[in-house]
Structures are given as C-alpha cells and as structure tokens.
A and B are shown apart, each in its own frame.
Chain A
Amino acid sequence: MASYLRPDLLARVEALGLKARTLVEGLRVGDHKSPYHGFSVEFVQHREYVPGDDLRYLDWKVYARSDRYVLKQFEQETNFVGHLLLDASRSMLYGEGERNKLETAKLLAATLAHLILQQRDSAGLYVFDRGWRRQLPPGSQPGLLQEILRTLEDTDPQEKTSIAPLLHELAERVRRRGLVFLISDLLDEVPPLLEGIRHLRFQGHEVVLFHVLHPDEISFPFDGQVRFEGMEGPEILLTRPRLIRPSYLRNLEAYLRELRAGCEANRCDYVLVDTSRPLAETLTAYLARRLKIRRI
C-alpha cells in the first residue's frame, strides 16, 4: 500500500478524519440529545451484564424481580449495519474548494462512518457511478475507519451516474436489515430512482437520501453568455443564463418536489445538502429532527 504512505495523502486523510471528528463532537453538545442513541433504538432483548457495560442500560425492574443484572439491549446494540453509498460520478466534481459536491459528500460519508463506528455498529462503504467502483463490506473492526477514509480520499470520478440498478442490486444482495445512506447529487431520472428506494424499503432497510447540490445549481446565479459543457456527456449549450433562469428554477423546483414527494411516499428521509452551508449545521438539523420523530 504505497499510497497509504504518501505524506500528502496522509495529511489529507488526517484532515478529513479530524474534520469528521469535530463535527461529531459538535453534535454531542447543544440542546438536542446525543446522536449516539440516534439511529435505531427499538428495544430488542435483554442480555447479561458484563463489567464495563454502561450502567444506564441496566434494567432495574428485572433486577428487582430476579436479582439478575440485565442490560436492555436495543436494536442499535445488536450491531446494525450502516451502508454508505457514495456517488462518485463526474457530475459530483462541480464546485470549487470546500463547496465542491464530491468533497462535501466525502466529508459527509466520513462523518457518518465515524458516527456509526463510534457506536460500535457496522459501516460499509460503497462508491459508485454507473457501477460499483469500490466496496468496503460492512464491518466494525478497528482500522475500518482509516480504510474508509483512505478509500474516500482515493476516489476520483470518471463515469456518469446510474443509481437505480445499483439500488436494486443492493436490495437483492443485502438481506439483513440496515440503514442505507445514499449520498448523491441525484442527477438521474427520478422514477427509477424511487423504484430502487422502494425496493430497499421493501427489504426492510431504512433509507436516508442526502441530496448534495451546489448553490449554483440551486439558484443559477449566472450572467452574461455562458457555454455550459455537460460534465457527464458531450452536450454543450450556449445560452444567456439570465434569460432562462426562471425556467431553470421552475424545472429544478418541479424535480425537487417530485423527489421529496417520492421520499415521503416511501417513508424515506430526504436531506438537502447545500454545499455552501456548513455541513455540521445540515447534519445537526437532520439528526435533531430524526431524534424528535423516532424517539419521542
């Protein structure tokens, strides 16, 4: 693994890891509850206490009845699997610096991976464009986070997107219920995408859609004469953005509406990630909302 030893790469990984940590730390404090309890907290079963277990989860009622120290075990502790699906198609390359969609998506994936692994659950990483490009099977072994970070760092988009078939394939392959995080700009046909999500939901997975968009794509703030060159195809459009802006925004709005309604119908969480907003803010808001819905 020569690349692992590349100092600049290491520095980047380190930086990304650190950023992810900062974010997670940030999520712990504040008004809302810690996301450590966050993802799926259905009570499943009891198990014997072993030294080192968190006393918070001791079931005192059982102790009163039977003198046994038993822990309430929640589903999350049965080691749920978080599948991180990262879109690494060429369209994700849009944007400069920190606002780059792929950078934001990578940071998000790293943060979620950190979050999941921190709570001793399994995380898997799937990098895709029109096919699976890199797959790290779910696990919770030490060092997996580093592996994930390195994989993220190595990811370099080349192809265009085609999400739906991959979702179907994943739904068929992964039988064990888990949590699927789809991180993508979703510049794909909506109906097949929703079909894929429905398939995953049908298999019992919970699906969260992180829709990564650049502010330029959201507000289309261009002026003058612009030659738009398709990032995922040979298409070229020379136009005056100012003239078509209203129409563009209408189309975008219709697409977002369709997407949101589809998510709603499939009971899948939809989170719009605007790359110009701090990721911590977006993620915090989402997790807070999630806690509210699922726990209370």
Chain B
Amino acid sequence: MAFLAPWMLWGALAAAVPIILHFLFRSRYRRLPWAAMKFLRTAVEQVQRRLKFQELLLLITRATLLVLLAVALARLSSAARPGTGAGDAVDAVLVVDVSGSMGARDGNATRLERAKAAALARCKGLCFDPEPYGNNPWDYPHQAHAREKSFAEYQAKVRQRGAEFMQTILAYLPRPVIHTFFQLSLFGEVMEEPDPVRREQLLSQHGYALLPAFLNGMLDAAGPDVIITDGNEPAYYYTDPLQYYRVYHLIRQRALALVAPENVRKYQAQVQVSQALYVDYVFGLGVWGERSVPARALTAEEKARWFEHNTYYALQTSDEYVWLYSEQMDWWKNDRLPPGLREAVESARRKLANREPLGFEMADLLKAAREKQEAELRAKLIRRTATIPRLKANLKPPVIDGQLDDPVWQETPPLEEFVRYVTVPNPQPEAPTRAWVTYDDQHLYLAFRCAEPRKEAMKVVGLRRDDSIWMGDSVDIFLTQGESPTPYVHLILNPQNVQWDALHTTQDNLGFNPRWQSATALGDAEWTAEVAIPWAEVHIPPPSPGTKLGANLCRQRIPGEEQSCWSQTISGFVEEKSFGTWVF
C-alpha cells in the first residue's frame, strides 16, 4: 500500500495537466487592432523561420501520453525506510506530452505554452524526446543546406537553437528538470574514436549528428539550477547488469569527448544518468504480445523477475531518476498494472535500500527464451524461392508509367501472393498483393498490384525523397548485393511515387541515393506501381543465369493495419534472415 499511494498522487498531478493544457491551447489570446502590421508581418516571418527547427523538435515528441515517474535514488539510499516502499522517496517529474494532437504547428506559441503548462501544473520540468517521428532534424547530410553549409556551421546554428530552447524553458521554469529520452548515451561508437578530426567525421555521418550540438546549446544557456537527464532509452531492452554499468560509464566519462570544453563542468554537475524501463516490452503487452520478444516465452513470474532485475540495476546506475514507459497501463486510474509489477519494484527498492544483492541473473534465461521464440517462429515461416525470368528478346521493356498493361507483365508469371507476419494468427491478408519481376542487362523491372478495397482510408506519407514514407501505405523492395544477406539495398515507394532508399551494410546508410525509375497509378480498388532499377546504380552486376540473390517484397497497408511480404517474416520487413531467394 505504501507504494501505491504515491502512484495515486502522480495520477492526480498528471491528470491536472491535460486540463490545463486544454485551457491553455484553446485560443487564449487577446485581440488587438494593430496599425503597424508591416513590421509585425516581417518580424513574424523572420522569427518563424528561425523557430522552425525548434518547433520541429517539439512536434516530434511523442503523441502518446507519457508519464514519467521518477524514483529518487539518492533519497532512497539515505532517507527511505527499508521494506516500506517509502513513498516520500518518490518524486514526480512530470510530464505529459501531447504535441501531435495539440496542433503544435501553430507557430511559436506551443513551445512556450508547454513550458508554461508545466509551470502551472507545478511540474518539476519537462520531457524532451529527441526521436524524430517524421523529418529528422538531427541528420546532417539531409539538411536542406548541407551542400553549402559545413557540418561545423550547422553545429553552431543548432547549438544556438539549443540555447534558445533552454532560455524559453527558463522563462517559466527557473529550476527545471529536463528529462531527455537520450543524449550522448547514443554515441558510443563515435566516442571510441580517439582522433578528434575522425571523430567529427564519424559524428557528422551519424543519424543524430546534430544532437550533441543541441545539448551543448542547452548547457550554454542552463543556469546552475537546471538538471538535464540522459534517459538512455535503449535500456528498455537490457537483460544484463553489465549493460547498465557500461552505459553509466559512457554517459559520465566517455561522453565528455562530445561536450564543449567550456561546458564540461556543467555537464559533470548537471547532466544526470537516468535509466529507462519499458513495462510493455518486459511484460509483453500490446504490440509486444504479437512480436518475437522474450516475453512471449516467459511465465508471468519470470516476467516480473525480469522487471525486478531491470528496476534494481536501473536504480543502481541512475544519478537520480529512473523512468518508465508504457502505453498499456492506465496512468490516470492507476489500474491495468501487469501482475507482479508493483511487487517487483518494491522488492528491488528494498534490496537496494538494504544494500543486498539482487540475488539472481536474467541474461541466460532471456537469451534462451529469445532463441526458443525465434526458432519456433522461424520453423513456421513460409520461405520463398522464385525463378526470375529474363526479359524475352521479342518483348520491349515495360514502360514505367504505373500502368501494368505492358505485354511483358502479361507474359511474366507473378510471384506468390504476399503473406502477413508469422506472429499474426491469420497470415492471409485482407487485401492481396501480387508482384512481377523480370530483368535485362541494364535493369531489374518490378510491378506491384496492391488491391485496396478501402481506398478512402489509405494514408500517403511524405512528399520528397527519403521522407518517412514508410509510415504510410507503401511497398518495399529488398535485394542483396551478393549471396550473403548483407549488404542489401532497401527501396520503398509510396502510392504518390515518392521514393526512399537505403543501403544496409553493418550500419544503415540513408545517404545511399541510387537513381531508379518508378511510377504509380491509382485504380478503382487498387494501386499499382512499376519500378526499373539500373543494376549499376545499386552496385549489383547484371545477373548471369543461375545467379542467386536474397530478396523480399513487402507491402504496408494502413487501412487494415496490414503488413505482408512475399517471403514471410516474423514481425517486420527489415529481416534479412527471412529474405527469399531469387534465382536468375
């Protein structure tokens, strides 16, 4: 019971937030007839441009209600009474983020409103999730002016933005705890590089290349009362205490390589390690119940023990805060707690308070569970192999116009119908997808026919190349460059003919932009696509008879939330182990 009470308290606090937000965001403005519109208009335009970046950052924060609950480790070890769960050792940091649904696009209002809302709700601070759910503002090579402006110039600008971001928060919250989902914890590989020049190069190629500059800007403007956490989101999936210790060392020590010299002291004093717990993942709730995760192979008791394990080490390796993420628990009413969760947290806290060891390990058990899971599922997979016919000499290559009326498509037999993930109870999709593949010495040709009985519910995402088109209706093409599963080319196309392309080696390289032709067409109850990929562009030699390449074709369908592939996968498209084989 002692532990339950503070939860209720958080619920009450957090519940106040949406109400306040609601009022704040509902057109609370003053009307003012104004004469000097001229200067105002220009000023708004200028500032809007300048703030766009920050707005973007706010937009990308999660639309999911998110409650961060924090467990004060420092006080836990000193003041908490062992065995009681000591409610007074728990701090609510805060935060609700509702950006997407709150129409955060409305100019420069939101960022302030959010800080203000947090202030009004007497929150300790706010949550900042740097993960982009759309355009990636951190990715340097994809910035609009990456060609004219150097990485250093971009860093300088982003640093300035970070400072402005911090200043805005400080305007309303003089002593904020700014909880970020991750910061420098993400750059382990970059930090390993001892040569500063090489390090900058490595960093500039990183998907979050500009994030350290933003943090440095935040530090520039941070007063002595600001706390910034590095939330180390990857801890969601930890199974071993070593992972916690390593990342603690990384954030506290090695990360200094990415901190501006003048900010090192601030970083050491004001940036805290905070570890993440992911309730849904560990307990196999929601989507995690359908995917290949250890939870599926664990008993209820084992799941609770895993959670205790992670809570114990998270608390041990956090400076002050441990945070929890869940989309399945009801944070407002404090119900739908997975069985054993409360006891697991209480037990971990008690053991730490008494300076007892945890007393058990999870890594081996989890590894075994995962392997068992995967083996079971893999055994059930429908693996495909197809012979890809060469374009006949008497046929012309297809005209890439999106219409599948070319003679070549009439003569080429289609590949087998697409099937859904093996983890889904019924692998037969509601809307079938067929694909045709042929080739000549210059090109690989593909055609897709995607039946769509609910065209009105389709969602097309993205306007420009490499936008997040994979968030909407789309088809994916995977093709290995040789016989081994990696490296492989990954192309995506949406119904509006927007392309996305990447080369997966050991790392994902989104800077890979081959020139490939494509066209799409919208039919009555279907959409179709035609693609021609020059072999030279994707660095694959034109196949000679008998060549084998790993390949898969997949389709995401938003209307039925349906994912299907030609060669069945376990629970995603990017599974090179599940690729089928094309024999040319």
Contacts and interface: CB of A to CB of B under 8 A. Distances in A.
B43 A217 contact: no
A224 B41 contact: no
Given A238-B107, A243-B112, A94 B37 contact: no
Given A185-B35, A231-B34, A240 B43 contact: no
B109 interface: yes
Contacts of A252: 36, 39
Given A237-B44, A238-B107, A244-B47, A225 B29 contact: yes
Nearest to B106: A238
Given A238-B107, A239-B108, A240-B112, A228 B43 contact: no
B379 interface: no
B33 to A, nearest CB: 5
B41 to A, nearest CB: 7
B31 interface: yes
Interface string B232-254: 00000000000000000000000
B38 interface: yes
Contact of B36 (A93, A217, A229, A240): A217
| Interface range for B | 20 to 34
A67 interface: no
A237 B30 CA distance: 11
Interface in B22-71: 28-44, 46-47, 51
A94 B35 contact: yes
B35 A237 contact: no
A247 B43 contact: yes
A111 interface: no
Contacts of B30: 224-227
Contact of B40 (A94, A224, A228, A250): A228
A187 B29 contact: no
Interface in B423-479: none
A229 B31 contact: yes
Contact of A248 (B29, B40, B106, B109): B40
Which residue among B29, B36, B41, B107 has the maximum number of chain A CB atoms within 10 Å of its CB?
B36
Contacts of B33: 93-94, 229-231
Contact of B44 (A185, A222, A244, A250): A244
Contacts of A237: 37, 40-41, 44
A74 B6 CA distance: 91
A245 B107 CA distance: 15
Given A244-B43, A247-B46, A248-B40, A228 B34 contact: yes
B368 to A, nearest CB: 56
Given A238-B106, A238-B107, A230 B44 contact: no
Interface in A206-237: 214, 217, 222, 224-233, 235, 237
B24 to A, nearest CB: 9
Contacts of B108: 239-240, 243-244
A247 B37 contact: no
A251 interface: yes
Contacts of A239: 40, 44, 107-109
A187 B36 contact: yes
Nearest to B34: A228
B44 A227 contact: no
A288 B43 CA distance: 37
A205 B51 CA distance: 48
Interface string B401-437: 0000000000000000000000000000000000000
A225 B28 contact: yes
Interface in B92-133: 106-109, 112
Contacts of B36: 91, 185, 187, 217, 252
A238 B41 CA distance: 10
Contacts of B107: 238-239
Contact of A243 (B38, B40, B51): B51
A185 B36 CA distance: 9
A255 interface: yes
A248 B40 CA distance: 6
Nearest to A92: B35
Contact of B109 (A101, A240, A250): A240
Contacts of A94: 33-35
Contacts of B41: 235, 237
Contacts of A229: 31-34
Nearest to B168: A243
Nearest to B37: A230
A248 B39 contact: yes
Contacts of B46: 244, 247, 251
Nearest to B51: A243
B35 A238 contact: no
Nearest to B28: A225
Contacts of B51: 243
A238 to B, nearest CB: 6
- Looking at B37, B43, B44, B112, which has the most chain A CB atoms within 10 Å of its CB? B43
Given A225-B30, A238-B107, A239-B107, A244 B37 contact: no
A192 to B, nearest CB: 14
B47 A227 contact: no
A43 B148 CA distance: 66
Contacts of A90: 35
11 contacts: A91-B36, A187-B35, A226-B29, A228-B32, A232-B35, A243-B47, A243-B51, A244-B43, A244-B44, A251-B42, A251-B43
Given A228-B37, A229-B32, 17 more contacts: A90-B35, A94-B34, A101-B35, A217-B36, A222-B32, A226-B30, A227-B30, A230-B33, A231-B37, A235-B41, A238-B106, A239-B44, A243-B51, A244-B40, A247-B42, A248-B39, A248-B43
